[in-house]
Amino acid sequence: MGTAIEMKALKNSKYTGLAKKQYNLGTAANVCKWASIQPEHGKFTFGKCDAVRDFIKNEMNGTFRGHNLCWGHHNPSWMDKVKKSDKKDLLVNYIKKVASHYKDDAFAWDVVNEAVGSDNSPSQPLKKTFWYPDVPDYIDVAFSTARAAFPKGVKLFYNDYGIYSGGKHADNVYSLVKGMKDRGVPIDGVGFQMHTKTSKGVTVKGFKENMERFAALGLDIHITELDIGGDENDQAEMYANILKTCLEVPHCKSFETWGFTDAYSWKASEKPLPFDKEYHPKKAVASMLQVLSSGNTDIEITSPASLV
């Protein structure tokens, strides 16, 4: 069971105590991104990312998941001045540097984050970012560089939102990763972020079918950033259903929420996490424990309305 870890919360003993007690898998929420690791051009600062890695590995006795190597956001402002012709080298150099520092510290890395648009067509699914279209093949470049630079066992993931059930965004992600597989690009899996709400109508059936079509490409699935805003009962049920469904699909290999306490959520007003801001467990904790302890995944769902 995993969670994003906030660097700034590591000085809070309530936060660290609960993380250590309840979780054994973690991702740095922000400090392993470009803005933190390369704040100035050519200057690499790994201290904050190292601190979160160390907390996860040494204090939580956990597994570290890397997030992320290439994205259109959370980039330092100096990147705005980088010339188009220099972008590919910049990307390759960054991935090599990060890989040589972290080696196999993380069992998986999100190599590329959120590259696909919702409006674009499946034949041309990429959205305009710092990387695209200036480096038209930046995704392939990022994955090939990562494969050569990280030790063999480190899993390489494409991570995105809007892919918990079907829909345009999910279809575009599917087209992207299918194309990568067809071209022989070294991708191991897809991260389903799953920032959602109880009202959003994630269907268990759609979620399962969606995971299965990615799995049929030979890809693993990681639930990477789950949080669910809304009514506490519906939230508990939806957390349980998503966990249960992940457990039912053999290719779903990792399950993480985007934080664990509403005290440190990017969507705090929606109270989307399993523990409240006082660090008390909400019903979602019990419902997920029920799934985990039942041995089988056939749990009773009390109010199916939250999963249309």
Does position 193 bind ligand GLA by CB under 6 A? yes
Residue with smaller CB distance to ligand GLA, 257 or 306: 257
* Surface-to-core class of residue 215, CB atoms within 10 Å of its CB (0-12 exposed, 13-18 middle, 19+ buried): middle
CA angle 220, 225, 229 (to 5 degrees): 135
Instruction: Report how far apart, in Å, the C-alpha atoms of 273 and of each of 26, 60, 288 are.
Output: 15, 19, 12
Q: What is the DSSP-derived secondary structure letter of residue 56?
A: I
The alpha carbon dihedral of 273, 29, 6, 224 has a sign of: positive
Count of beta carbons in the 10 Å neighbourhood of residue 152: 6
Please report how close the Cβ of residue 195 comes to ligand GLA at its closest, in angstroms. 6
Please report how close the Cβ of residue 73 comes to ligand GLA at its closest, in angstroms. 7
Number of residues near ligand GLA (by CB under 6 A):
7
Whether the ω angle into residue 133 lies within 30 degrees of 0, i.e. cis, is yes
State the Cα–Cα distance between residues 83 and 267, nearest whole angstrom.
Answer: 35
Residue with smaller CB distance to ligand GLA, 226 or 291: 226
State the Cα–Cα distance between residues 271 and 292, nearest whole angstrom.
Answer: 23
End-to-end distance of the chain based on CA atoms, in angstroms? 26
Does position 225 bind ligand GLA by CB under 6 A? yes
Does position 7 bind ligand GLA by CB under 6 A? no
Residue nearest to ligand GLA as judged by C-beta position: 266
Catalytic site positions: 114, 225
State the Cα–Cα distance between residues 109 and 93, nearest whole angstrom.
Answer: 16
Please report how close the Cβ of residue 266 comes to ligand GLA at its closest, in angstroms. 4
Binding residue (CB under 6 A) for ligand GLA from 78, 107, 266, 279: 266
Is residue 191 within 8 A of residue 224, CB to CB? The reply is yes
Residue with smaller CB distance to ligand GLA, 55 or 258: 258
Residue with smaller CB distance to ligand GLA, 5 or 291: 5
Does position 196 bind ligand GLA by CB under 6 A? no
Does position 113 bind ligand GLA by CB under 6 A? yes
Site string for ligand GLA, 48-87 (x = CB under 6 A): -------------------x--------------------
Please report how close the Cβ of residue 267 comes to ligand GLA at its closest, in angstroms. 8
Which among 152, 75, 141, 157 has a CA at the least distance from the CA of 108?
Answer: 157
Does position 210 bind ligand GLA by CB under 6 A? no
Residue 102 phi, psi dihedral angles, 5° rounding: -95, -15
Residue with smaller CB distance to ligand GLA, 32 or 185: 32
State the Cα–Cα distance between residues 75 and 40, nearest whole angstrom.
Answer: 11
Count of beta carbons in the 10 Å neighbourhood of residue 269: 8
Tell me the sheet residues that pair with 65: 27, 108
Does position 129 bind ligand GLA by CB under 6 A? no
Please report how close the Cβ of residue 193 comes to ligand GLA at its closest, in angstroms. 5
List of residues contacting ligand GLA (CB under 6 A): 67, 113, 161, 193, 195, 225, 266
